[in-house]
Every structure is written in C-alpha cells, then in structure tokens.
Structure 1
C-alpha cells in the first residue's frame, strides 16, 4: 500500500506549477484585480523583454544590422507583438527620407541619422556604450509562452551575429520571473536538504534515549512527499511563500512521529509486549496527537481569510501536510516500530548475535503520590523548573501578561515591506540586470493606468479632456513624470493639435499602425492613459502608490470627464494595493480568528473551561511576545511574517495540549495536581523537548534561504517557537495547576454546600 501511495504521489509531483506573478499577491475575487485583469491586462498590458547591448560603440553599422536581423527573426515568433530598437527607428527615418526602409551601410551614415533626431533615440541609447532592444509580448501570455519566447530569443541572438566583444544581456519582467521560478526550485531542494541534515543532528542529540532514534526523519519525509503529490492533484502552485511550508512541515510532522515513537518505547520499557505497547500507544497517544493536530489545523484556518492568494495556498499546504505527516507517523511509523521491536525480541533469522534484554520499569496501574517514577537528569531539571514556576506562579503570570500586552502594542508600529523585489535574492544576476535596465531605460518603471469607457473613441471632447487631464497630472503631481495615450499619436499626425471633428480623428486612426493603436485603444469604446510614476514601488512603496491613486481619483472627480465617460484607475501597481489590507487589518483578523477557532475547538472537544483555556492562554502570550521580537529585530511585516500569529497558535498549542493530556491522565491515576504536572513534565515534557528542538531546527532551515522574505520569516519563527516551548514549561505548569486547583476547590465547596437528601 505504501509503495502504491508513493507511485501515486510521484505522479502528482509532475503536476506542480511554479507561480511568482501578480496573481500570487492579489486575490482574483477583488474588484481591484478584476479591473486590472479583465480590462487592462488582457486588452492593453504588454510585458517587455529587453536585450541590453553593451560594447565600445553601439552606434555602428555592424551592431545596427545585427539588431535588424534579430528584429526580423523575433517578429515571426508567436506571441511577440512588436520589436523596438534604434535600428527600427533608423529604418523609419530612412523610409521618410528615401522611401526605403533600410539600415545605412556605413558608420558615418548611422551617426548622421542619430544626430538628426537625438531626442528620438535618447531612451533606447542612453550613452554610446549601451543600447536597448525592447521586445513586447502580451501581458496575458502564460509563463510557458513567455518561456518559449525567451528560448527563441536565445537562438535568435546567436544567429543575429553581433560583432565580437559585445555583451548581450536579456532582462525584463518575463526574464526575471523565469529566473525567480528557477531559483525557487533550486531553493526548495536546498531548504529540504538543510532541514533533513538538521533533523539528523538534533535527533542524535536529543532523541538518543530510544532505539532507532533516526526513524522519525524518514517517516516525516514520507509524509512531506505525500504532500507534494497531493499538492499537484489539487492544483496548489509553488510560490516563494509555499516553499516555506515544507521545512515547517518537517519540523511539525516529525513531532507526531516522535510522540508516537516515545510512547511506544515507554510502554515497552514498562514491560509490555510489542502488541500491547502498540495498542496502548494508539489508544492514549493517537487521540491526544489527533486533538493537537485538529487544534493546529484550526490555528491555520484563518490563513484562508487573507486576501493574498499565496498565503491561502500556504494554508492549504500546511493543512494537507500535517494530515499526511500524522497518517505517515500513525501507520508507517508505528508499524515499522512494531516490526523492528518484534524482530529485535524474536530474532527469527539470527539478525542479532545476542539478544539484549530490554530494561523494564514496571509502572503499576495505580501509582500513589509517593511512587512517582525516578527521573533522569533532564527530567529532574524539568521538575525543578516546574516546582519553581508553581511556587512563583503569580509573579510569572503577571510578568507574562504585561509583556504580552506590551508586545501587542509594539506590534502596531512594525513597518510593512511591500516592495516585491526585496523579497527575492538581491544578488541574483537577473535582478541585478533588471535594475540596471531600469536605470538605463526610461519608461520601464511603474505605472498607473487609466481606462476610459466611452461612447465614441473619436469624440474630440474626449481626446481634449485626456490631453488636459494628462497635462494637469504631470504639472501638479510630483510622482507623475509623464503620460502617454492615443492623443499623442493623433497630435503627431495632425501638426500637434487635436482635430475638431470625429471624422478627422477617425481618418487619423486608420493611418496609425495597429501595433501602436492597440496599446491605447480597443474597439470603439475603450481608451487608456498611461501615467509614468517612475520607480514608485521602490521609492514610495505600496502605501505611497495607494495615496497617489487616491489623489488621481480625486483629480478625476474635480476635472469631470465629458458626459457618458466612465474612468477606472488600474494597472499592476494599483492591483498590488490589496496587500496593504492583508498585512494590516488582515494579520490582526487572522490572529484573533485563530484564537477564537482554537478556543471553540477545545471547548467542543473537552466541554471543560479549564481544559479549553489552559492550552491557549500561553500561546496567546507568545503572540504578544512575537510583537516584541519583530520590533527588537527591526524586521518589517511581509506576506510571510504576517501569518506568524496563526502559525504560533497552530504550532504552539500542540505543546500545551499534549502536556495537558498527560497531566489529566496522571491525575486519573491518583496523583495530586503538583505531582501530576511533575509526572507530565518527566514523560511528555522530555518528548516535547525533543520534538520542540526538531521543530526549531526544521524552521531554522528557512534562515538559510536565499530569499530574504523566507530567511527573515525563518529567524522570527525560530525565536517564536523557542518562546512557545519556553511558555509550555514556564507559563503552562503554574497556570494549569492554578486553574485546576481552583476548579477542584469550587467543586468541593459546591458539594459541601449542597443540602443532604
């Protein structure tokens, strides 16, 4: 059965798709995205693949003819809309002069053409050593189509035969996305490898008191592999956020395997047979771990309320993954342990030279208060810690709550990072080239795009309003550096003015090449104005773009367009504004919803206020402490760190639940609250130290990610998980004893006060 599931999962992994575009940041269900995707992207947006030519003298006949050959080859590639370069402009000028669209045959003639209209070539030839070739493809083209165009470009560059000594650098948004997807694939393998190595190290360090201590690692890796397969079948894409799910799953899933492994070994050392140990483990630990898993899942569910799609996909992977890891630990892990122990005991094929007797410490069914098991060094230390916290319970709880509320207050001042280029490796060659291209080539920055729904796109009043509005924005708004629209094309062909009649405008439209018109108009009822806002994503970030969008909207209301004209402000920069609400009110909502869901889940499971509240209060305190961590480390919120509240609740509540389950199991055996918490600490507590350490080491793999969005998240998460473990041993024991003792006193008072019947 296991081998069949492996084969099925292997097939599913082939279906996984990489994603890194706008659709991973902005929900497709929002009106903001619909305006961008359905109106602008599919009809007007183009992506630019840019070839940067670098050499001693780009304004030469050999370079221009090579550029012309490249243009001719790329124009026949499916999906390429146009090619713009100095060579194209030179041919256009020559056509106007001589009637022949050709590249001159000498460097002198090339220089004469360039000198005749220097402003025309300024953007494509910023200096004598750099030249840009801009290949425009449809913005709605798929990643695979863009990848095919880039492959065709590689071939065409070789066949164009540029002169020796000239470097050709392919960049632009499509090329950057392809490289990001490639980097994500390589990074995922690196993260999984580092996580596995760290798991081996920590298991050898903290889980050596059991036999076959490395077994939890292959168990959890099998669960992660099943998750990969399921991911492909349900269509969850691989994004820079979902990559983080797999080291996290290794850290979480190995915890399930360790809990089962630790309990079955404990039962065997207590003198039970392999069969009895398996049954008792499934009976006692199976439900406890399942409840912890359910509460973890409830903590993750708020991730689906995020408006950022890749956060929702991250939540899906975590939910799928913890279920797969639990099933792997329950069936594959326990069955393997049972088989190993049976072989070890029976030695049917002479596998062992000598049968080693298993030391047993028989645990009677009724343990009196004076017969708590003798603790080892670590266990004695944990008992001392528990005794100390119980003795100073009031001080510890007051300090914990005060620092928690201080953290919640500090959290409100943590900045938000929404420059998406800062999320990827800053030394990635394609990003370095992309930034160099942006510095050299004007018009490649960010834009606000205004779509006008009109009754007649040749109405002179509409075009005049577009001209007046564009002039007003450039003159009065510092962050708007220029505008382009069909008005520019019309004025260019009409002596610099807008015609007075619709018929004249229609006649000019017919003369404009279709490749130029389709960037600014569609049919008879859609027109666009492109507002150049420079490097706004880097300089003023999303918050500034949002403010600028609102200002432009107010300007539209002040400068009312002609009757019957509807104005929509959209574009990729505007579509990213959704991230703001996701990272501000969204993260607070996720945390509060997570607390509520886990609390409701615990009430439904236990129907007991003490059992419902005691595991969740320590984790809520850790959520507050996380705010202090973010503030102290000066790490801004990103789509990743925004999920920390839900992640802490999901991960940390498991520790408290498992400790609480063992506490009440020991109380049922006749121990007092203090003795029960000590026994829980000596048994489950030692396993929690091991599983907590593996979780920390699993999350630590994220710190080594080349993606800053993941490495920062990994650092904060490791600290938060350590705080969750700290709260489990420092805050939970005194809280559990205090709440349970008060409940027993109230119950005893009620029984005493009840009238005799």
Structure 2
C-alpha cells in the first residue's frame, strides 16, 4: 500500500510538471494547474528547509510567515521529523507550498527586507501580476528567499533533473530535433509539421508549434518567395504604367518592357551558372532589376522621340540617340553595376552573391536593351503622335525656371536642408537585433516570441567546450562568478556531486517496485459495453468520495466533480453512433490501452533495472542528456545562459568579453550573432568605399574631367545626407538588410548626374527638365522607386525596410539631381561669364525645342 501511494504521488507530481495534460478527466483527477506548482524534486535540501520552518530566526520574516500557514498535519510531521518520514514530509510541504502560492499575494516589503530578489523577480513584481502570473511571482519569491533549500526553477536550470527542456516554470516543453544533414532541413521541417498535425488530431487541445533556426530559415525563405512574386508583379506593372503615362503612348514602352523581360530571363540563367542558388536577400533581385534596368529603355526612347520631333528620320534619330544618349546609358549602367559588383569584393558570402547577381544582371539586361530594343523601335507601326504636346513641355520649362533663374536661392535652400538633415544624423543607428527583421506573422516567429517571453531567462546560450570533466568543473565554477552570467547547464553536477543519498533513494525505489510485474497485453478489442459499466461504477465511487471531500476539502471536491463529468462525457462519446462506429472506438481504445501499458511497463522496468551499486558514469545517464552535453569526441559542453538580453548588441559584447577570459574559443548563438552582424555591417561599408572609388574612376574615364566627377557625385552626396536626415527624423534605423543602401545609393544616384552632365556637355545648357533627358531622369527615377518600393509589400521586415530606405534614397538623389545640379551649372555659367566680363552670358528661360544656348553662354564647357 505505501508503494502504491508513493507511485500515485509521483504520478501526480509528474502531471503537474507536464503543464496542461491532454485529458480533461486527468486534469481534474490530478489537479494539474498553471504549471507554476512546486514538486517534490524542488526540495533541494529538505533538512535545512525543515529546520528553518521549525525554528525560524527572528529576522527571517519569510520563514515565520510560511511556518504559520502550514497545515496542522505538516506541523506535526515537522515536530517529529526523521529519515523514515522523509517521503511524507516532502509531499506535505509541497502541498502546503502550492496552496500558499495560489492563495494570494505573499509579498510584503518588510517581510522580504532581508531577501535579495533576482532581477527577474523584481521585474515581475513591478508588473502587478494577477492569476497565473501572481502564482509565478509567489514561487519566484520563495525561490529567492530559500536559494539553498529550493530548486532555482522548473525551467532550463533543471533540465538534468527532468531530462526535458522546459520553460515558463514547466508550462512550455521543448523537444529538439536535428536533420542528419543540412540539405535535409527543408524535408525534416515538412515532416515535423506533419507529425505536429497528427499529434494535434490525436490529442485535442494540445498547443504544439515549431520554431528554431532551420524552421525560421525555411519559413522565411518561403515567405520571401511569396513576397518577391508579389513585388515583381507589382514592380513590372507600376514601371510599365509610369513609362506609358510619362510618354503618353503604349507601343514603345511595351517594346522596352519585353526587352526587360528578356534581360531578366538572361539574368536567371546567369545566376544559375555563377551562383546556383538564391538566399533570402538575393531572391529580391527580380523587382530590383525591373526598377533599374527599365531605365536603359527610358533614356533611349526619350532621346529617340526627341530627335523625331526635331524632324530627323527614324534611322537618323536612333543613330543620334545611340551615339549621344547611349554613352550616358552605358556609363550609368556600368556605374550602377559597379556599385553592386563592389559588394562581391567583401568577405561576407551573402553580400558577395547579392552583388554578383544584381551587378551582373544589370550588365546582362543592358545587352537586349541596346541591341534588341533599337531593332524593335524601327519595326512595327510608329507612333502617330511623335510630336510632344507643347503645353506639357512649356509646363516643365516654367517649373524648371523657378530654380534655373534663382541659382543662389536654390543653393541657400539646399544648404539649409542639408544642415537640417545633419542635425538628425545623430539619431540614426544600426539595429543589430535580428528579431526586429523577422516576418511578424509567421508561425515559427510567433512560437519563437512566445518562447522568449515565457521566461525571464535567456533562451540563447553561449557554448564553452571542455576537453575533460576536470576542466569542465573548473570552468563552470569560474563562469558562474562572471557578472554577465545567469546560470550554467552541464553534465558535471550528475557526475561530481555526493550521490550517497540519491543512490540510497534509488535502492529504496527498486525494493518497493521489485514485486510489480506486468502481464502480457490483451490483443483483443475493448468490450465497449463492459468498459462503460466499469466507468459507471468508477463514477459511483467518485460520487461517494465527493460527499466525503465536501466536508473538509472543497478543492478536492471540485476535482471529483470534474472527474464525474469527464467520465460522463467519455461514455457519451464512446457509445455514440452505429455498430461500425462502436467497432472503430473499440479498436482505438485497445490501441491506446496497449500503448499506455507499454509505456508503463517500460518505465517501471527502467526503474527496476537502475544500478545503485556505484556512482553515476556518463554511460549511465539518459541518452538525451548524453547527446546534449557530451560530444562524439568525448568533450563536454557547458551551456552558459546570459543574465541580460543578448539580442542587444552591448550585452553580447559584455558576455563575450567575459567568457573569452576563460575560453578564448567560446562559441554559441550570442557569439555568432555578434560576429555575423559585425561582419555584415563592415562588409557593406567596405562595399560602399569600393563602389565610390570604382564609380569615380568610371565617371572620370567618361568625361575626362575631375570637375565632372565632383559634379556627378554632388547629387549623390546631397541625396544621401537628406536620406540620413529623414531616417533620423522618422526613427528608421539601419539593419543587416537595408545597410545595402550605402553602396547602392551611390551607384544608382550617380546616374542622374551622368545623364545631366552628358546632355550639358552636348548642348552647353543647364536646362534639363524641359528636354528629353530631364523627363527620362524623372521617369527612370520613378521606375527605380517603384522597383524598390514594391519591396515594402513584403512581410519580412528586413526586406520591407530595404524597400523603404532605397526608394527614399533614390527619390532624394533624383530631386537633388533635377534641381540643385542644374541650378549649380547655371550659377557656374554666370560666374564664368562675370569672370570673363561677359555680362550678356545670362541663363535664359528654357523653351521647348531649344537646342542649345548661344555660343556666348558656353564659356563653361565639360571637356
């Protein structure tokens, strides 16, 4: 009988630790509550705890209060406690502790004045918790008050005792799985999802989910594929509509779009040959290239139509467009591609792939745009309205004259905006936290956040590898003293502590269970009517127990009420339906019965076969513990849990610095996050430097003038400064995804200056917007904004931020190029005229169809 009572007690404790059991009947019977309950295993030092409760010190207010709330039965056991009463006292104290922490708030500032509260407890205390959170707080308070007597938690700190990894004081259990090879991760994730759905179907009400690095990578890649498809379609449609609306025709824009699609097909082949795969960032190359490569066709068609309006034949117009505007297209294409290709010179593999695919893709798309598009422009029905409406050109000319005639005011206003932007730059920072980039709605992300929020303890740990047990023990002792470390999980506690008492307990359990044996499982289907009658009898016994429990234990009475209701529900469900359904239920119950008794038999046999003749060895430990803490080479893992949130950069740095004083080769997720984000940021900064140098060289080779290099880069510098100011004003940080903006804005923004300076070198007039070049710069800028802006539709917050920052940067560079650069050129012409004493060299208002300024205004030439 004592053995049976002990087994029932242990079963009850196990169910409490398992959180929410699947069966309502079991829930009612064993009273598994909110998961914050104490268990018998939590009494780390029963003798010390009993001594404090029996004779609490005068200054120990917590022990005094706790002692006064103990039941009479527990007090009686305490008064005559000896080793023979250990089991009874353990479970009596557990029952009282759980009753106390569930009865209401136990915190009193005076009572806990001498107790040092942990940061987690203090944080929870300040949240004014209610319900299950209040029980959790009460439990944490007792753990802080009795650090030597009670276990630290039912979470990761007791992984070794429970084998299972648990969080939130036992409310969440973690099962880890690993694919045999990395390339099988996707297949493994799909199979795990099937198993989860099967488990949910078998155990209604069970809340199960998947998360972890392979799951997150798989889900975010799938989400990125969906986002890219939507962004690509949106980008293609918006760019085509901008092209059509800007040129008031459909034929030539459609031809350019077809050439773009051919170029994208070539790029897919190029990416397959060079890289062979896509990642979460490179998969976005399609909408990016749509917005950038369409610019080739925009500029070529704009100049072609302008020459047609000036009376040239189709062949002559196309020849002039290819000769003059084609130079700017090639230079602009190579500078933008150079910005991407500069990323290929960095040390970060993902950035290299992004640079190679997008940079190479821009060059590949240039081929059909400069070969196939000219052929298509000369074929088919030509536009019957190859004469631009005068009022549209005049309107653009009037707008442009607002700054061409006032270059000084434009310069002052530009400098003022630059100054205002500069004041906001200090607010721009780099967000190293990768959690802020994830797709918020993905199931894997939801469960990841739930896991992180479930415990004040970090779910990330640093990994320290010891070569032998002695080194593991020494390092663990030193690591626990570090100010940045919360706790250390390892296998050393099992193998080094004094196991005399545990071995005696194991021997006692073996003796108690020696007489228990299991018969062969019954292979026959369950007799439904007979089983129903048995349940009916059990319900009657529960009713009798209910009457007795109502007299002294109302809480227990409620459990019997729930048990009777569960029995009734089970009988109704079991007996419902026709004979076919009853036969199916009979087979299902038989299968469940066999599985249940197999589990019980294996559990009891494992207990009966325990070896208590010698201290534990590594081989004696459960396989789950061996796999977690001992490597295939025999080295030992120390899982170091940080005290602070290591998703934050500064906390990562402090933890790594402290751990490297003990083990310079420390690794683990916090270390990898630190070096990964650091390498990525530095790689993009390096790429920005490379692209700036490469672009400056290309611009110099094109214009053969250092002044032109400066003039072409001025809109980029101003636009980038405005971008930084807007980011600081709006509170948008850089992150590992949008930091790509640094090299790209240089490469994309400089093309505006190249086209404007190329036209100025040809005609020696700063008037741009009234001409085809200005309209092409405007339309190509809008299409580039559409290409990157389509990424804002993405669910992945990193890609979304890339779309926002890049589209803003392109817009600011375009505005600076279309306003300040022409105004600056106008101002330079005036200053040159004054210096040459040519007062007549004044910039006149731009007029539609004006080919060039008079020769006397050409004293500032680009050579």
Q: Same fold (TM over 0.5)?
A: yes
Cα pair 1:249 1:321 within 8 Å, conserved: yes
- The 8 Å contact of residues 304 and 315 in structure 1, kept in 2 or not, is answered as yes
Match of 1:623 among 717, 720, 729: 720
Q: Which residue of 2 aligns with 1:488?
A: 493
Match of 2:754 in 1: 657
In the other structure, the counterpart of 1:530 is 639
**Residue matched to 1:265:** 305
Residues in 2 aligned to 1:290 and 1:127: alpha-carbon distance in whole angstroms: 61
Paired residue for 2:257?
217
Displacement of 1:412: 4.2
Q: 1:471 to 1:204 in 2, by over 3 A?
A: same
CA distance in 2, matches of 1:248, 1:405: 31
Name the residue aligned to 1:229.
269
Matched, 1:550 2:653: no
Displacement after TM superposition at 1:577 (Å)? 1.2
2:363 match: 323
1:520 and 1:529 in contact (8 A); partners too: yes
Higher strand share: 1
- Does structure 2 conserve the Cα–Cα contact (< 8 Å) formed by 1:449 and 1:531? yes
Query: How far 1:126 moved relative to its partner?
Result: 6.5
Q: CA deviation at 1:192?
A: 0.7
The partner residue of 2:410 within 369, 379, 396 is 396
Secondary structure in structure 2 of the residue aligned to 1:615:
helix
Matches of 1:496 and 1:627 in 2, distance apart?
Answer: 66
2:25, 2:489 → 1: CA distance? 27
Residue 693 in 1 paired to residue 782 in 2?
Answer: yes
Residue 471 in 1 paired to residue 471 in 2? no
2:725 equivalent to 1:711: no
User: Could you tell me how far 1:631 is from its partner in structure 2?
Assistant: 0.5
Residues 606, 523 of structure 1: alpha-carbon distance in 2 compared, 3 angstrom cutoff: same
CA distance in 1, matches of 2:168, 2:487: 22
Q: 1:684 corresponds to which residue?
A: 773
Structural mapping, 1:531-680, within 5 Å: 531-533=640-642, 536-538=645-647, 541-554=648-661, 556=662, 567-582=664-679, 588-667=685-764, 676-678=765-767
User: RMSD of the alignment, in Å?
Assistant: 4.1
- Equivalent residue for 2:278? 238
Residue 417 of structure 2 is aligned to residue 417 of structure 1: no
> For the structure 1 residues 404 and 161, does the alpha-carbon distance in structure 2 shift closer, same or farther, using more than 3 Å as the test?
closer
Question: Which of residues 176, 191, 208 is equivalent to 1:152?
Answer: 191
TM-score normalised over the length of structure 1:
0.68
The match for 1:254 among 294, 316, 319 is: 294
Contact 2:340–2:354 (Cα < 8 Å) also in 1: no
SS, match of residue 549 in structure 1? helix
CA positional deviation for 1:216: 2.6
Pair 1:588–1:392, CA change in 2 (3 A): farther
The answer to whether residue 809 in structure 2 is matched with residue 720 in structure 1 is yes
Q: Which residue of 2 aligns with 1:18?
A: none
Alpha-carbon separation, structure 1, partners of 2:696 and 2:615: 67
Offset of residue 419 of structure 1: 2.1
1:172 aligns with 2:211: yes
Q: Who is 2:375 aligned against? A: 335
Q: Deviations over 1:418-437 (max 9, x none)?
A: 22222122122221123224
**Counterpart contact for 1:445–1:534, Cα < 8 Å:** no
**Quick check: 1:54–1:168 contact (8 Å CA) kept in 2?**
no
For residues 160-203 of structure 1, give each alpha carbon's deviation from its aligned partner in whole angstroms, at most 9, with x where no partner exists: 79645234533121323221121111111111111122223322
The 1:442–1:307 alpha-carbon spacing in structure 2 relative to 1, beyond 3 Å, is farther
Is the alpha carbon distance of 1:493 and 1:746 closer, same or farther for their aligned partners in structure 2, counting shifts above 3 Å? farther
SS at 1:171 equivalent? coil
State whether residues 200 and 206 of structure 2, in contact with CA within 8 Å, keep that contact through their aligned partners in structure 1.
Answer: no
The more displaced of 265-274 and 632-641 is 265-274
- Deviation for aligned residue 1:522: 4.1
TM-score by length of 2: 0.61
Q: 1:553 to 1:164 in 2, by over 3 A?
A: closer
Would the aligned equivalents of 1:255 and 1:694 in 2 still touch at CA under 8 Å?
yes
Per-residue CA deviations over 1:630-671 (Å, capped at 9, x if unaligned) read 11110111123222232221111111111211121123xxxx
CA distance in 2, matches of 1:631, 1:159: 49
Deviation of 1:323 (Å) = 1.0
- C-alpha distance 208-162 of structure 1, shift in aligned 2 (>3 A): closer
Distance 1:58 1:323, change over 3 A: farther
In 2, Cα distance between equivalents of 1:464 and 1:164 = 42
What is aligned with 2:535?
A: none
* 3-state DSSP of counterpart to 2:722: helix
User: Residues 509 and 409 of structure 1: is their aligned pair in 2 closer, same or farther, counting only changes over 3 Å?
Assistant: same
Q: Which residue of 1 aligns with 2:175?
A: 134
Cα deviation, residue 529, structure 1: 1.7
Partner of 1:38: none
